[in-house]
Amino acid sequence: MTTNIQLEHDIKVLIIESLGLEDMQPEDIDSNAQLFGDGLGLDSVDALELGLALQKKFHVTIDAETRTMREHFESVANLSKFVAAKQRSA
């Protein structure tokens, strides 16, 4: 079983690789920082790409219609909790 710290690191690497942020390192991304807007500055296109990458790497289902999806994508820490919960329930 992957630890939350390891999962957060893996998600940071996935964000960097899937969104082409070559000038960033995983440690440059604060796990609790906002991913969109003032935080990392991602936009809706980035959200789609990130969602697809998460589904592919972690084999989780992401339903954009889910009301809580925006909360899950708020930070790396939230994404980590979401992925861990999805993997446990699979």
Tens of pLDDT, residues 29-52: 999 999 998 889 999 899 999 999
From 80, 82, 89, 85, select the one nearest 31 (Cα to Cα).
80
Report the pLDDT value the prediction gives residue 2, as an integer from 0 to 100: 62
Q: Has residue 70 got a pLDDT over 90?
A: no
Name the percent of the chain lying above pLDDT 70.
98
Q: Which residues contact 3 (CB under 8 A, 6 or more apart)?
A: none
DSSP 13: H
DSSP for 16-85 reads HHHTT-TT--GGGS-TTS-SBTTSS-B-HHHHHHHHHHHHHHH-----TT-TTHHHHTS-HHHHHHHHHH
Number of domains the chain is built from = 1
Q: For residue 19, give both structure tokens.
A: 């969104």
Where in the sequence is the domain holding 71, given as residue range(s)? 4-89
CATH of the domain at 34: 1.10.1200.10
